[in-house]
Structure 1
Amino acid sequence: MPRRSRSVTALLAVLLTALGGCTLPAFAPEGSAEPVGGVPTVASTAGAAAHWSPCPDVPEKLIGRGAAGMSYDCATVAVPRDWAQPDNGQTYDVAMIRVRSTSQKNRIGSLLVNPGGPGGSGVDIAVYLSFGQAMGGLPAEITDRFDIVGFDPRGVSRSSPIKCISDSDQDASFGADPDPVSQASFDQLTALNKKIADGCGRKYGDQLPNFSTEQAARDMDALRTAVGDSKLTYLGFSYGTLLGATYAQLFPQNVRALVLDGAVDPTENYVESSETQAKGFERAFGNFTAWCKANPAKCPVAADPRGAITGALAKAEKSPVPLRDGRKATPGWIFLGLISSLYTESGWTSLAKATADLARGDAKGIMELADQYAEREQNGTYSNLFDANLAVNCADTDDAPTADRVRELQGQWRVKYPMFGAPLATGMLPCTYWPGKPDPYPAGKANGAPPILVVGTTGDPATPYENTARLAGMLGTGHVLTWEGEGHTAYPSTECVTRAVDGYLIDLKVPAEGLRCPAK
């Protein structure tokens, strides 16, 4: 169904909210809903030019209309299921949309975009970004010089989507206690994760390794050829930075310019990455509580924000607030709403109000935040965002901890990161039981690549700022741009950030070393 009641800015924020780093607790739904907006099914083969067809129905179904002065064309590219065996005849279809401004001049080429996740729709974000900077999209300086090309990576939304878990199991996993203290409760959570993993294994079997980041990065080179570019220009947010970094290592000679905003650190192992996110969310929560206390007019729980939320979680363990749809606002759903609200500074006001309402027995606000993050529809169905998230994360992971190790870390991290440590530990359980063989991505230099711009936000919860310099250093050609702001990802948040990124994308001008853009 089209989401016509919300602004483009809000929809773009929702998309990036649900697409954090790659280790958050995420379980994949079976969801009966179809992907939003069709894409022509006639595919070009890898290495061939794309066959574009007009698709104004895609923005129409997403938000009710297309942007003024923009045209929308769609295509699919058939890519090998396994790039190690490209000629065996088995393929996936990768869906793309091309947004072109009617005022375009001095065209440079295509700007390939991805919102992250893993599991996020690049088709969707290309539509949102087409509405211009005033509505949270790309500035005219970019759309006047580039075609904006979004793609759904293999397994995601319109691109041979992976679906292997029921809506009821998805509800159970999101609603489960994020920090099960008793051994019996922990065992129930592990059993649910094993059930989910076994179901995906039965349905997809030997295909599971094919959903790895490296396979998707190789697809990106086929897309570069399909759109007719000799070199790739790319804007990747969040997990999209990992896709971009992997591409740079595999195809350094094919890079024109990469903007990696909200960096994932590929050098961290699975446990280290989860702990990094625990630190990031704990810091962001501290920033929220400080804002709340300083702005009591906007924050009805300003007297004790942390206490209000921890109290709500504790109360929900014994007597969760019921909802009209039959669900109850359990600690799992409340925690998901908390996670959702921390991705953007604008979400802080919603969290404060939702927490106050919850104390009065009204769970509507906190559940709306949770459902926004989970992409759960009112009829109880889900998109395939979190199936793809699970499949990609686990295909990439060759060092998932055992359940006993997760249990140990749960206790340790609960002390170190009181709000987020234990849930981020138990969030590693899905890959503990994953049946597919791993296909980990590379983590090294992009030798031969031109300068790559890595953008970091000091208050980013999902891809903490510390990752920025680490990714830039790992690639060897990375240059850091810092935004001293809050929330997940930076571009195009302020004039300073926008000017620096636009200059790099258009003129290949690397921002001054050490440039730090102010919050406002």
Structure 2
Amino acid sequence: MRRVLATALVATTATVTAGCVSTARTASDGTPEKTTGGQIAWGPCTDIQRGDGEPPARQDQNVRCGKLRVPLDYSDPGGEQIELAMIKIPAVDQRARIGSLVFNFGGPGGSGVDTLDQASKALSSLRARYDLVSFDPRGVERSAGVRCGTPADLDEFIAMDTLPPGEQTRRKLAAANRKFADLCQRDSGKVLPYVGTVNAARDMDRMRTALGDEKLNYFGMSYGTQLGAVYATLFPKNVGRMVLDAPLDPSVSFEERTLAQTRGFQQVYESFLKACVKEQCELGPTVSSANKNVEKLLNDLTKRPLKVGDRELTQGLASTGIVSALYSEVTWPFLETALGQALKGQGGALLYLADSYTGRNEDGTYSTQMTSFPAITCVDTAERPDEATLRRTEEAALKISPLFGSEGSGGLCSIWPAQGSDKAKRVDATGSAPILVVGGKNDPATPYEWAPKLTAQLKTATLATYEGEGHGAYLSGSKCVTKLVDAYLLDGEMPSRGSTCPAA
């Protein structure tokens, strides 16, 4: 699980292709709209593909897309500029409108344009009084997205087996990492030094001004919590109402993050198996037998990948598919079906789960999800782990979980072509408005232990706890969490310290 475990991406239910174009700036009814400094040009969203195949304009005429120009290098603000893709869905009740609510749904590397378009129905209570806004952060998709080779190159990289552990596998993975890093430098070397979270936070303050908001109202999920924390550190006086759901602890090392996430995914995997065998489980009658069958499947795939049309389900892709479905309890039944089919020689469903995670489209092209993630991760830290640290990390992780143990993303960052900085690891929002942090007790990707740590580092935050499963609490289906967060964002009512919501 070397490439996919050390991510905190909020998984969505569909893989989409993306795009957002600039046209003359217009309001939602098509009439000319006044600008703030002429910075954003809003127009129709012409190249977002929804899961049902309908273009956004046929479903909601109010969905608008636009571009905001920002400096590539903030130390040279008058120099080369890049365009950030944005999306806006205006508030339903304009008379009671509070302002804009800017979302980052996770990553690093997730497209906010795509995800807001998909998630807007689930955010209807917030849309009542906020203009819902999101964006592709720098280095992601339409915003100078990081590209690394051809789709065939990514197919080869992502499909690589991570089992069995040992020197031969390590050599193959190290060579694959080197080739991948070289392709990223070749294709995106100009932007690689500038895609970090500190610059993305500066971009958000430009967005705030361009949107005409005195304060930034913000909802960050997963990696979006680090982005929000960095923003609150740089611009504490500009913070409005801010929610950080599924929080990261930005101060952790590669080794600490890898081991924490390995424990998190292993615990959720065990919970999945326990839930499966309560009824008639396709994987086996007991947790032990089901686990052995999954392990056998993965080991067999290293010798004989399953044919799926003109593709193959490798062990690496199968492991990625398993991780993808563990992000949410909602997808556990599909994971059971996918694994059950693979045990019978049919790998299509498990391959679909892997593709949804890695951003592979039906035509074989990829989003920048798997290329933006390491680019942002590696410039957000000065850590460049040596071989001894990588091996120590891998050995400790494999003891926690033979299925999910790995060296994390440290192996790729150790050879990354762009220099890293620790500026995004130090957060302190002293002087900001109150911030709400929501942590999930059974979150595999951002373990609960990180929630109180981020809360303490921010100084101005209050922690609320969700007792349920899954990555992210607000979109989990918990009515308690929805009520608690909405009360804060819509009415300014911060929950009392120690607030807890039961599992949904």
What's the TM-score, normalizing by structure 1? 0.87
Distance 1:500 1:227, change over 3 A: same
How far is 1:372 from its partner?
1.1
Q: Does 1:305 align with 2:290?
A: yes
What is the letter of the counterpart of residue 123 of structure 2? L
Distance 1:41 1:156, change over 3 A: farther
Distance 1:370 1:214, change over 3 A: same
For structure 2, the 5+ residue unaligned runs are: 10-14, 26-34
| Corresponding residue for residue 124 of structure 1 | 114
| Corresponding residue for residue 40 of structure 1 | 22
How far is 1:305 from its partner?
2.4
How far is 1:65 from its partner?
4.6
How far is 1:48 from its partner?
3.1
Partners of 1:49 and 1:228 within 8 A in 2: no
Mapping 1:429-444, distance limit 5 Å: 429-440=411-422, 441-444=424-427
Distance 1:178 1:249, change over 3 A: same
1:364-403 CA deviation, whole Å, 9 max, x = no partner?
1111111111111233221111111121011112113123
What is the letter of the counterpart of residue 490 of structure 1? A
Q: Distance in 1 between matches of 2:376 and 2:24?
A: 26
SS in 1 for 2:340: helix
Mapping 1:85-234, distance limit 5 Å: 85-87=76-78, 89-131=79-121, 137-140=122-125, 142-205=126-189, 207-234=191-218
Distance 1:70 1:263, change over 3 A: farther
Distance 1:34 1:160, change over 3 A: farther
Choose which of 38, 63, 73 in structure 1 pairs with 2:64.
Answer: 73
Partners of 1:21 and 1:238 within 8 A in 2: no
Mapping 1:286-365, distance limit 5 Å: 286-296=270-280, 299-303=282-286, 304-325=289-310, 327-365=311-349
What is the letter of the counterpart of residue 434 of structure 1? W
Q: Distance in 1 between matches of 2:374 and 2:417?
A: 12
Q: Does 1:274 align with 2:263?
A: no
How far is 1:258 from its partner?
0.9
CA RMSD, Structure 1 to Structure 2 (Å): 2.5
How far is 1:86 from its partner?
1.4
How far is 1:167 from its partner?
1.8
1:1-25 CA deviation, whole Å, 9 max, x = no partner?
xxxxxxxxxxxxxxxxx9986479x
Q: Distance in 2 between matches of 1:469 and 1:42?
A: 45
1:303-324 CA deviation, whole Å, 9 max, x = no partner?
3321121111111122222221
Partners of 2:157 and 2:180 within 8 A in 1: no
Q: Distance in 2 between matches of 1:481 and 1:70?
A: 36
Q: Does 1:490 align with 2:473?
A: yes
What is the letter of the counterpart of residue 430 of structure 1? L
How far is 1:68 from its partner?
6.1
What is the letter of the counterpart of residue 471 of structure 1? L
Distance 1:37 1:371, change over 3 A: same
Count of equivalent residues: 483
How far is 1:448 from its partner?
0.2
SS in 2 for 1:346: helix
Q: Does 1:244 align with 2:228?
A: yes
1:66-122 CA deviation, whole Å, 9 max, x = no partner?
4866612222111111112212x2111011111014443311100001111111111
Q: Distance in 2 between matches of 1:83 and 1:291?
A: 50
SS in 2 for 1:389: helix
Partners of 1:36 and 1:62 within 8 A in 2: no
Q: Does 1:255 align with 2:239?
A: yes
| Corresponding residue for residue 27 of structure 1 | none
What is the letter of the counterpart of residue 483 of structure 2? R
Distance 1:360 1:69, change over 3 A: closer
| Corresponding residue for residue 74 of structure 2 | 83
Distance 1:399 1:500, change over 3 A: same
Sequence identity of aligned pairs in percent? 36
| Corresponding residue for residue 458 of structure 2 | 475
How far is 1:410 from its partner?
1.8
For structure 1, the 5+ residue unaligned runs are: 1-17, 25-32, 132-136
SS in 1 for 2:96: coil
Partners of 1:54 and 1:73 within 8 A in 2: yes
Per mean C-alpha deviation after superposition, the further-off stretch among 347-356 and 199-208 is: 199-208
What is the letter of the counterpart of residue 94 of structure 1? L
Per mean C-alpha deviation after superposition, the further-off stretch among 232-241 and 411-420 is: 411-420
